[in-house]
Amino acid sequence: MKILIADRISPIGVDLFKAEEGFEVIEAYGSSPEQILEIVGDVDAIAVRSDTKVNAEVIAAAPKLKVVGRAGVGVDNIDIEAATDRGVIVMNTPTGNTIATAELTFSHMLAGTRPIVQACARMRAGGWDRKKFTGTELNGKTLGVLGLGRIGAEVSKRAMAFQMKVLAYDPYLTESRAKSLGVQQATLDEVIENADYITVHMPLTGDTKHMLNADAFARMKDGVRIFNCARGGIIDEAALVVALESGKVAAAGLDVYEDEPPAEDHPMRGIENLVLTPHLGASTAEAQENVGIDVAKQMIEALKGGRVINALNMPSVDPQVLEKLSPYITLGEKVGTFSQQLAPEGVEKISIRYFGKMVELETLPLTNAIQRGFLREISDNVNNVNAPKKIERLGIECEQITSSAHADFNELIEVVVTSKGGKTRAIGGTLVGKNQLPRIVLIDGHGVEVNTDATLLVLKNKDVPGIVGFIGATLGEDQVNIANMSLSRDQGEGFAVSVFELDSIPSEAAAKKITNHDAIEKYRIIKL
C-alpha cells in the first residue's frame, strides 16, 4: 500500500507507517496542488494537516484511495462529501490537541482578566501605568461554556479550580454527565444572560454560525468577557467590534476567525482590549506529536481492516463487536439484496425492522449492511462509507424499527420496501443452527426457508394443481437444475409463494413460458 504524507507530522508517526510490512511511504511536504494530483494516482491513503487540500479533484484522481487522515481536528481542507461518494474514509484526531487548546483558552481568559498583554506593550514603550491596568479576578465569577465536549470539559475543570461557577450549554449534554463534571446545565439564553465570561467550544454549523451576534451581546451582562478558540464564525466579528468599542464587552480573546488570516486593516487589529492569536490552539510540541502519532495509528488500523475510529463519515465499531455481528451482517446484506431485487419499481422507503434478541445487538452496522446489500446490483463502488449517502441520493427514506418480540422467531431481520404507488414487499431473514447459517424465512408474510447462497426463482401463483410440475418440466427442458424448493400456501387468498433454488439462470424463452402461464402472477429471478 502507498501512503502519501502530504504535510509534516510527527516523525514518530512517519516511522509507524514505515514500520508496517507492505507499506510504501511517500513524504511530499510542501507539494503544490498540481504536484499532489500527479502523486495520488496510485496511493491508498493520504495523511494531511491543514495545508494540503484534499478536494474533489484530488479524490477523483486517486482511484485506489481508501483513507484520508487529518492530523488535527478541523477538516475544512477535505471534501468529505466527495470522499463519501467514493467510499473513502475521512478521519481526524480530536483528542491529541485537547489539553493544548484548553490551556490556550484559559490563557486568553487570564489575559482578558488581567491586562497582561497591554501592560507588557506599555512597559516596552517605556511606560509605568499601574492604575491604568487594574484587572479583575476569576474567583467567584460565572463562566458560560458553549459546548461541553472534550475541550469544553477541560476548560470547565480549570475554571472550577479557580473557584468559578460553570454554566454549560450543549444540546447533547446529559444530566448525569453534567453532574459528574460538576457543572450546571443551562440553556443558551441562560448562559448569554447570566455569565460573566463566555467561552466557545462548538463546531461551526448552520445552527452555530453567528450564535453570538448583536442580539446576543445586547442581552449579556455589561462588562462580559468573550473567548473563542474553537471555530471562526461562531462569533459575529462585526458585532463583537461594536460591543467592545461600546464597553458592553469588557475584554475578549480570539484564536480563530471568520477569514484566516484577518485582513491587515481589519478593525479588530486596532482594539486594545481584544487579544488576538494566530490560530495557536494545537501549537504545542506535545499536541503536534500526539496528533501525528494518533493519525498514523488510526490510518494503519483502518487500512489493515481493523477498527475504524474517529471517522467523520462512517460509524466506529469495535473489532470484537464486529466479530460477534459478523453472521448478522452477512444475513443483513443478503436480505437487503433480496429485497431490492424483489421490490416494485420506484422505491421511496425502506423500513428495517429488528425483532427479538437482535435488539440487544448494535444495529447500526446491520443497517449499514442492509443498505449495502440493497445497492449491490444497482450501484458501483458501494461500501460502508457511502451506502447511506447513496440511498439518500436515490430519494429513498430509510427507517429503523426495533421490537423485543416476534411471534415466530427468536430473532429476525425484516426489510419492507414501499414504492411511490404504495405497493410493498417484505423480506425476512434469520440465522439457523449452531453454525448460524443465514436463511430467508419470510416473503410478504409467507413462511419459507431459502438458502442465501443461490440463484432463486420466486413465484406468486394461484394455488392450483400442476404448478410445481409445470415449473419442473419447463426448467428441465431448459437444462436448469432445481437444487431445492420451498412452498408456502395461503388458503385465504388462494395464492401460493414458491421459491426454487437453481443451479443456473433460466433462458429468456423459459422465463417467457413461465410468465405467460395463466396461474402465475409474479415471476422474479433473485441472484444472491
Distance, first Cα to last Cα, the chain = 31
Task: Kindly report the length of the chain.
Answer: 528
Closest CA to 253 of 271, 238, 233: 271
Q: Is the peptide bond before 267 cis (omega within 30 degrees of 0)?
A: no
Q: Which of 114, 150, 177, 279 is catalytic?
A: 279
The cell for 205 is 454549523
Active site residue 70: no
Beta-strand pair 2-5/24-27: parallel
Say whether 260 is catalytic: yes
Of 70, 108, 231, 446, catalytic: 231
For the question of residue 323 being annotated catalytic, the response is no
Do 128 and 295 touch, CB atoms closer than 8 A?
no
| Distance of alpha carbon 369 from alpha carbon 325, whole angstroms | 11
Catalytic residue among 260, 397, 399, 493: 260
The set of cell numbers assigned to 412 is: 429476525
Helices and strands counted in the chain (H then E): 17, 22
- Provide the 8-state DSSP code for 410: S
- Residue 500 phi/psi, 5-degree rounding, is -110, 125
Strand order in the sheet with 45-48: 24-27, 2-5, 45-48, 67-70, 89-91
With both helix axes pointing from N to C terminus, report the angle between 98-113 and 285-303 in degrees, rounded to the nearest 10. Answer: 150
Cα–Cα dist 94/115, whole Å: 31
According to DSSP, the β-strands at 424-432 and 446-451 are unpaired
CA distances from 429 to 62, 97, 259, 332, 460 (A): 38, 46, 53, 8, 19
Report how far apart, in Å, the C-alpha atoms of 367 and of each of 180, 330, 392, 431 are: 33, 11, 14, 16
Report the catalytic residues: 231, 260, 279
